[in-house]
Structure 1
Amino acid sequence: MRARDLLIDLPTIDLDSTVVDAVRLLTEQDLPGLIVVDDDGSPVTVLSETEVLRLVVPGYCQVDPVLVRVVDEAHADGILHQTSGRTMRACLSAPPRELPISGPDATALQLAELMMRTQSPFVAVVDEGRLLGALTLKALMRRVLAA
């Protein structure tokens, strides 16, 4: 079994989409994460659900978690709306870490190791710079159980 055998279509989001768009897409389609693509449709980064959440939580709370306790409930409930208008491009300025991106010929073991190493619940499958689809951890585990 190769990556190409387990592909699913996973919606992508572009660099000019907002953080609110990203959260909406994640929640409405119950996705394990998002693939952010450039103008050519090539993956720029791959974000798990918790990495998208990191875009929502204010930076000062990430730097000093004690500050979370001083934010009142009304402001805490509205944290997503505080990101209104912020684009993915603006949020992804830091150099990316190793991305969970694989070629279509990767084996189940190679895919599992990549998911573990990058701590990602899915892998973007790319061939010659073109996104073919994605492979989820659940699909991989189902296939491994069936073997």
Structure 2
Amino acid sequence: MSLKDIRVRDIMVTKPLTFKPDRRLLDAVRVLVDQRLPGAPVVDGNGNLLGVLTESEFLQAVIVAGYHGESGGRVADHMNRHVQTIDVDASLFDVAMLFIATSFRWFPVVDENRLVGVVARREVLRAIIDSFGRRRSGIRG
């Protein structure tokens, strides 16, 4: 099976941590730090992707809030609304090339702007290694 035959839907995390936009920023940051995650998608009540909260956004927000003695506000105040996504039907090759072209560690996976999962570099690397291992041993699919 080639890298163009494997789909993002086959390797993505299907139930990722998400935040609602009205969640307190410091609570969201605490969850991300405790779970050692580099960020999380922000969704509305219907699962539509509104943005992402990444290490960069929350580090900047927490530093500014701490400096000014503020609470940090809500996730919606600090999330990145300009989100690079990957379609659920994209190939493993396509998502690997996207990771090569960007510095992102993960992408939200969408189906018509509805969040259906996330895919990280680690899942892509694992799938590539598995694909090469199957080809080397003569196993298909």
* TM-score normalised by L of structure 2: 0.75
State the Cα distance separating 1:123 from its structure 2 match.
1.1
**Percent sequence identity over matched residues?**
32
Q: How does 1:35-114 map to 2 (within 5 A)?
A: 35-58=41-64, 79=66, 82-84=69-71, 86-92=73-79, 96-97=81-82, 99-114=83-98
Q: CA deviation at 1:81?
A: 9.5
**1:3-22 deviations in Å (ceiling 9; x for gaps):** 10012121100110111122
Relative to its length, the structure with more helix (as a share) is: 1
Name the residue aligned to 1:6: 11
**Number of residue equivalences:** 125
Q: Secondary structure at the match of 2:52?
A: strand
Q: Could you tell me which amino acid in structure 2 is paired with residue 57 of structure 1?
A: I
| Alignment match of 2:27 (pick from 12, 16, 21) | 21
Which 4+ runs in 1 deviate beyond 4 A?
Answer: none
TM-score by structure 1 length?
0.72
* Structure 1: runs of 5+ lacking an equivalent: 60-78
Gaps of at least 5 residues in structure 2 are 1-5, 132-141
Deviation digits for residues 1-44 of structure 1, max 9, x if unmatched? 11100121211001101111221110122212110112322111
